[in-house]
Amino acid sequence: MSTRTPPRSAPPGAPGVAPPLRVVGRGLPRVDGRALVTGSPVYTADMDVPDMLHGKILHSPLAHARIVAIDTGAARALPGVRAVLTHLDVPAILHATAGQPFPELSPYDTRLLDPHLRYVGDWVALVAAESEAIAEAALALIKVTYQELPAVFDPVEAMRDGAPKLHEPDVAHPLFERSPGPTYDARHNIAGHEEIWRGADFATTMAAADHIEIAIEGKGGHAARPHLAIDTILVGAQIINQLQSIVARNVDPLQAAVVSICMFQAGHTDNVIPQHARLRGTARSLTAEVGELLHKRIGEVVEGTARLYGATAKVSCTNGYPVLVNHERQTAFAAAVAREIAGHDKVDTDVPPVMGAEDFAFMLAERPGAFIFVGNGDSAGLHHPAYDFNDEATPVGTSYWVRLAETALGG
C-alpha cells in the first residue's frame, strides 16, 4: 500500500500538514520577568562595600590612532584619586583576547594599555577614586594628544593589500616556534589564515526532497531455522537494491533523481530473525513529473519485492521541501553585489542544479528572491562527521549581506 500526503498547497491543519507552532511567533512570559520588574535581583551597582574604590576608563574617540603624549598630572592631583594608569605605568605584556584555553593559537596582539589604539572605545587610561563622581572628574582632567591614523570599517577592505595595519607581528606568541607566519598575517589584519577559495556562487535550482518510510512485516524465527521464517532483513536488503532500479531504468536519463535509503532498523540480537523491519530515506527530484513517478514506482517496487519473499510492506511517501527556483532579476542583483565583495573571478552564476534541498524554497515559491552558496574552502562535506565551518568565510559573508542591504535600500 502506498500513501501520499496532500499537495504542498494544502492549508494548515489538513491531514499530513504540520499543526501551528506552539512557541514560535507567540508571546511567552520571561522566566525572571516578575523578579526584574519588582526589583528583587541585586546587581553590582546595588552593593556598597566599605572603602570601595570606583574605577573609570578613558576611551579612545578615534577608530585608529596612536597616543603621542598623555598628561595625567591634574587628574592625579585631584583629591580622592587613588590611582591613574596609562600605557607608561603598566607592563607591556601581550595577550590574546579570543578566550580559548591553552594552547591559544590566536595572535598575542593586545596589551592592557597600549599607545596604539585600534577602535573607538579602546582603552586609553584607567582611574581609581573614592567615588564615581571623582573618577569621572579625573577622566576629564587627563590631556591626550592623538595622532589619527587611517582606519578601515569593512572586513574585506581590511584584508586588501595597502590597508592600514592594525596589529604588530606576533613575536611574543608562546607557541611562535609552532605557529608562525601562515596562521597570522599582521600586514592584512588576519588573525588566523589559510589559503582557501572564497567567494559566492548561485544555484538556479535545488531539489524537492520527499520522505520515504517503509514498514516490513515477515515471520520471526530462530536464526538456525530460517526456512521456517520470513526474513525481514533479507527482504529489506532486496528492497534497497531494487529501489535503485527506479532511477536507473524508470527515470529519463536526461532528468535528475535520487532515491536513498539512509536508515535500516531490524532485530535486537544475533540469533533471532526479526518479525519487523523499518526503512527510512529520501526521494529527490527537480520536476513535479519526476517526483510523481518516484512516488508511484517506490510503492510498486517495495510492495512487489516484499510479496516476492512472502512478506508484506507498507510504504509512506510524504512531500517535504519543494523544488527551489531562483528568480532571474534577484539572482542578477545578488551576483552583482557579490562581485563587489569577492571579485569577479570568485562569483559563479552558471552552476548546475544540486540535489540538496532547502526550506528557503517555500519562501521563493511565494516571493521573488535568490538563494546563494558561500564557499567553505577545502573541508569535509555537509553532514560528514568531520565537517567544520570555516570561520574565514565569515567576513566575506557578513560583508556581502551588509553591502546587499545598503545597495537595495539605496535604490
Q: What is the DSSP letter of 64?
A: S
Q: Which of 271, 300, 323 is the last residue in one of the domains? A: 323
The DSSP result for 75-97, as a single string, is: HHHSTTEEEEE-TTTS----B--
With contact defined as beta carbons under 8 Å apart, do 407 and 337 qualify?
Answer: yes
Range of the structural domain that residue 395 is part of = 200-204+325-409
Residue 411: the pLDDT is 56
As for how many domains the chain has, the answer is 3
Q: What is the CATH number of the domain that holds 398?
A: 1.10.150
Look at residue 247 and tell me if it is in a domain.
yes
Name the H helices within 288-359. 288-308, 328-342
Same domain, 305 and 333: no
Same domain, 158 and 134: yes
Give residue-wise pLDDT tens across range 274-303: 999 999 999 999 999 999 999 999 999 999
Look at residue 261 and tell me if it is in a domain.
yes
What does the block give as the cell for 230?
Answer: 520470513
Residue 51: the pLDDT is 86
Same domain, 94 and 122: yes
- CA-based torsion, 105, 111, 116, 119: positive or negative: positive
Lookup result for grid cell 528572491: 369
Same domain, 216 and 176: no
Helix (H) or strand (E) holding 65: strand 65-71
Per-residue pLDDT of the chain (411 residues), as tens digits, is: 444 444 444 445 444 455 666 777 778 788 888 888 888 888 877 777 888 899 999 999 999 999 999 999 999 999 999 999 999 999 988 777 776 665 566 677 788 999 999 999 999 999 999 999 999 999 999 999 999 999 888 777 777 777 888 776 655 566 555 444 444 565 556 665 444 333 333 445 799 999 999 999 999 999 999 999 999 999 999 999 999 999 999 999 999 999 999 999 999 999 999 999 999 999 999 999 999 999 999 999 999 999 999 999 999 999 999 999 888 888 888 888 888 888 888 888 877 888 999 999 999 888 888 888 888 877 787 788 888 888 888 888 888 889 888 888 875
Give the three-state DSSP class for 117.
strand
Q: Which of 269, 297, 323 is the last residue in one of the domains? A: 323
Same domain, 70 and 116: yes
- Exposed e or buried b per residue across 16-55, where buried means at least 16 C-beta atoms within 10 angstroms of its C-beta: eeeeeeeeeeeeeeeeeeeeeeeeeeeeeeeeeeeeebbe
Residue 103: asked if its preceding bond is cis (omega within 30°), the reply is yes
